[in-house]
Amino acid sequence: NAGVTQTPKFQVLKTGQSMTLQCAQDMNHNSMYWYRQDPGMGLRLIYYSASEGTTDKGEVPNGYNVSRLNKREFSLRLESAAPSQTSVYFCASSSGGGYTFGSGTRLTVV
């Protein structure tokens, strides 16, 4: 039972490069989320998808795009990475009874 799987676990990017963070869940959850976690800032919602085919902005969406590929997969894309996007990114899924989180992606933009 894998739960929520995120790839990659670590990544270093140069300013201006692009990349996609992948997330997949095997719990048949309808809702999926992307958060970033920074020291002193807690977890901040970037984008979420309440159900397959829908996506909405969260608290800090600037510089990011998302795709809900199907019910299982929800990807986060950085089109032109900036040092301010250095963070730990968490994907989560839910069916209404609390979130299940992935193990995170540590991203450094230099």
User: 81 or 104, CB closer to other proteins?
Assistant: 104
Number of residues this chain uses to bind other proteins (CB under 8 A): 22
| Nearest-approach distance from CB 49 to other proteins, in angstroms | 11
Asked if 9 contacts 106 with a C-beta cutoff of 8 angstroms, the reply is: yes
Contact between 109 and 86 under an 8 Å Cβ cutoff? The reply is yes
- Min CB(97)–other proteins separation in Å: 6
CB of residue 48 vs other proteins: minimum separation in angstroms? 7
Vertex 92 angle, CA 26 and 47, to 5°: 125
